[in-house]
Amino acid sequence: MLRPGCNCVMVKSRSFVFIILALCTSSIALAQSIADKGKEVYDQNCLACHQVDGSGVPMLTPSLVNAEYVQGDKVRLINVVLKGLKGVEIGGEMYDNPMPPLVHLSDEDIASVLTYVRSNFNNMAGPIKKEEVASARKAAN
Amino acid sequence: MKKISFILFAVSMALVTAFDKNRVQQAVIKLPAGFSMHLFAEDLGTARHIAVTPQGNVYVKLGKLTDGNGIVMLQDGNKDGKAEKKTSFGNFAGTGIAVKGNYLFTSSDSEVFRYTLDAKGVVTNQDNPERIVTGLVNKRQHASKSITLDNKGNIYVNIGAPSNACQEVDRTKGSKGIMPCPILDSAGGIWQFNSAKLNQSYSEGKRYVTGIRNIVGLDWNTETDQLYVMQHGRDMLFQLYPEYFDAKQSAELPSEVMFAFKQGDDGGWPYIYYDHIQKKKILAPEFGGDGKKTGGEKAVDPVVAFPGHMGPNGLLFYKGNMFPERYRNGAFVAFHGSWNRAPEKQKGYFVAFVPFKNGKPAGEWEIFADGFAGIESIDAPGQARHRPCGLAEGPDGALYVTDDVKGYVYKITYAK
């Protein structure tokens, strides 16, 4: 779960604390809704191959669990979704099933699902914004 | 699934005689009463198909090289049910392996080779096999080349379609099926080659049957002198066509089917699939289907239909005398276990049996050996501790089963 940086401990004024807490809560709620949206997109588009626990399929589909490919370079990851992937060695293994391009997903859907994957399945990487997806899509076209 | 629980024999619990060194729990394989299981070999790596010589030497093909070798010979000189001698050779990985006459045939994902066996069933030319077939399609997806031989000097090679359903863009929502499917020219079928001729390519072979998505388990049935195969059915009906299929239907469909083929037969892929619930050949949605419209008038009907996605990787018609009479000429099927049933629970990870009489099923299919996954409820295939893959029969009538997760080889015997 992502919790955008907000340090409430140092604040002394009660009303200020209240405002900060309210801001924190709303940003957590926003993050939660992005994650929920991400899970929905995952379940429909990714789960069949990458599985309910992200563990993939031995020899066919790579695992997303604590994965360098997932937590690493954001543009590379966005491009996996936009262009698909096949015949690439991942974590020292080759996988037989191709990943199809999911170019029909909106920038927001891709941002949500990647944010979800990067913060679940033992991954601890930060969110991906829809603007980042849009710029990767533009560069790819 | 009422048929699965159909049990002729009281089920006994055969404790596998050894266990994963890294795990606490023992793998418990359930077998019918009277059968027992020995751990013949372990930790071979990705043990795929298996073949046994008349002398009892066991050859296993590896899907990935282990210490640079892709074939393992196992010998059990003292006949205690556990191989004490292991010899590795062959610098190529693959799936197919078969013994015929004085030769060991085995395949990579693009070629077929032949080794010579001496009078003791031992390979004499470990480092220089003869190349029988070369240049077959290898695009990773469905690339394994399973093999079987008839008694007339022919070898049959599966060339799987590097595709799910012959869409313009593979496995992509909204992408149409290509009509006619161009893949079928060089894949999506079984090709026949001369088992004694070297360096054959497509032009010297014959497309024996077409319209098959992918085969891993196949066997030449010597009783009926006919090719039998188990097809891996297409994936992702729900993901690609949620307007026609829900997740439950997509887990169950299409059927994993057994075909009994004659030369020139067509299995119907990619245009149709078989639905064992409606008992009909259904038009694939990529080609205008909706889960109800039928099709494939020229395609052959399956002889057995199992639930979807269980991954039939091994097929063996039992010829021996060790097992009770009802098993003779019947079919064992090794189900590797599903992945494309998610988000439903996964299924398979067992060896099934279908009784046969005169080349036709003589009863419902049943589970013969179960529990390879080591857990009751399987969400994802990565959770399975073992996955059955290849099957072979020993000269004494024992049944061998390989596992390509830990590289176990199980030997199943029967005693009254």
Which DSSP string do the residues of A66-93 spell out, in sequence order?
T-HHHHS-HHHHHHHHHH-B-S--BTTB
Chain mean position to CA B285: 27
Domain count within chain A: 1
Residue B369 is predicted with a pLDDT of 98
Residue in chain B closest to A104 (alpha carbons) equals: B173
**Cross-chain Cβ contact A98/B382 below 8 Å:** no
A59 close to B (CB below 8 A): yes
Residue A114 belongs to what H/E stretch?
Answer: helix A107-118
pLDDT in tens, B151-193: 999 999 999 999 999 999 999 999 999 999 999 999 999 999 9
- Name the stretches of chain B with pLDDT < 70: 1-27
Determine the Cα–Cα distance for residues A77 and A55; give it in Å rounded to an integer: 17
- Chain B residues whose C-beta sits inside 8 Å of any chain A C-beta: 46, 63, 140-143, 169-174, 235-236, 238-239, 242, 339-340, 342-343, 379-383, 387, 405
Q: Which structure tokens are listed for A24?
A: 């924190």
- The DSSP secondary-structure symbol of B17 reads S
Q: Which structure tokens are listed for B395?
A: 């000269």
A71 close to B (CB below 8 A): no
Residue in chain B closest to A101 (alpha carbons) equals: B172
Determine the Cα–Cα distance for residues B334 and B402; give it in Å rounded to an integer: 9
Are A31 and A2 spatial neighbours (Cβ–Cβ below 8 Å)?
yes
Residue B268 is predicted with a pLDDT of 98
For the B11-402 domain, the top CATH level (class) is mainly beta
Q: In chain B, pLDDT over 90 holds for what percent of residues?
A: 92
Distance from CA of B22 to the nearest CA of A (A): 19
Residue A13 is predicted with a pLDDT of 58
**Cross-chain Cβ contact A61/B339 below 8 Å:** yes
Residue in chain A closest to B143 (alpha carbons) equals: A96
**Cross-chain Cβ contact B380/A96 below 8 Å:** no
**Residue A5 covered by a domain:** no
For the entire predicted model, the pTM comes to: 0.90
Question: Which residues in chain B touch residue A55, judged by CB atoms under 8 angstroms apart?
Answer: 380, 382-383
| Bridge partners for B159 per DSSP | B189
Question: Which residues in chain A touch residue B242, judged by CB atoms under 8 angstroms apart?
Answer: 44
A43 close to B (CB below 8 A): yes
Residue B166's closest CA among B250, B268, B244, B246?
B268
Question: Which residues in chain A touch residue B379, judged by CB atoms under 8 angstroms apart?
Answer: 51-53
- What are the extents of the domains in chain B? 11-402
Are B46 and B406 spatial neighbours (Cβ–Cβ below 8 Å)?
no
pLDDT in tens, B289-322: 999 999 999 999 999 999 999 999 999 999 999 9
Q: Which structure tokens are listed for B256?
A: 């994993």
Chain mean position to CA A77: 9
Question: Which residues in chain B touch residue A101, judged by CB atoms under 8 angstroms apart?
Answer: 169, 172
A89 close to B (CB below 8 A): no
Residue in chain B closest to A84 (alpha carbons) equals: B172
DSSP 3-state of B112: strand
What count of CB pairs under 8 Å joins A to B? 67
Question: Which residues in chain B touch residue A60, judged by CB atoms under 8 angstroms apart?
Answer: 339
pLDDT in tens, B189-229: 999 999 999 999 999 999 999 999 999 999 999 999 999 99
Other beta carbons within 10 angstroms of residue B97's beta carbon come to: 24
**Cross-chain Cβ contact B141/A47 below 8 Å:** no
Q: Which residues of B187-223 are buried (b: 16+ CB within 10 A; e: fewer)?
A: bbbbbbbebeeeebebeebebbbbbbbbbbbbbbbee
Chain mean position to CA B25: 28
**Cross-chain Cβ contact B380/A47 below 8 Å:** no
Q: Where are any strands of DSSP class E within B96-240?
A: 97-100, 103-107, 112-116, 130-133, 147-149, 154-159, 189-194, 206-210, 215-221, 226-231
Determine the Cα–Cα distance for residues B145 and B190; give it in Å rounded to an integer: 10
Query: Does the pLDDT at position A129 exceed 60?
Result: yes
CATH number at residue A86: 1.10.760.10
Residue in chain B closest to A102 (alpha carbons) equals: B172
Question: Which residues in chain B touch residue A121, judged by CB atoms under 8 angstroms apart?
Answer: none
Tell me the residue range of the domain where A122 lies: 14-140
**Cross-chain Cβ contact A100/B63 below 8 Å:** no
Other beta carbons within 10 angstroms of residue B391's beta carbon come to: 25
**Residue A3 covered by a domain:** no
pLDDT band at A35 (very low <50, low <70, confident <90, very high): confident
Distance from CA of A94 to the nearest CA of B (A): 9
Residue B17 is predicted with a pLDDT of 37
A98 close to B (CB below 8 A): yes
Q: Could you tell me how many helices (H) and strands (E) chain B has, helices first?
A: 2, 30
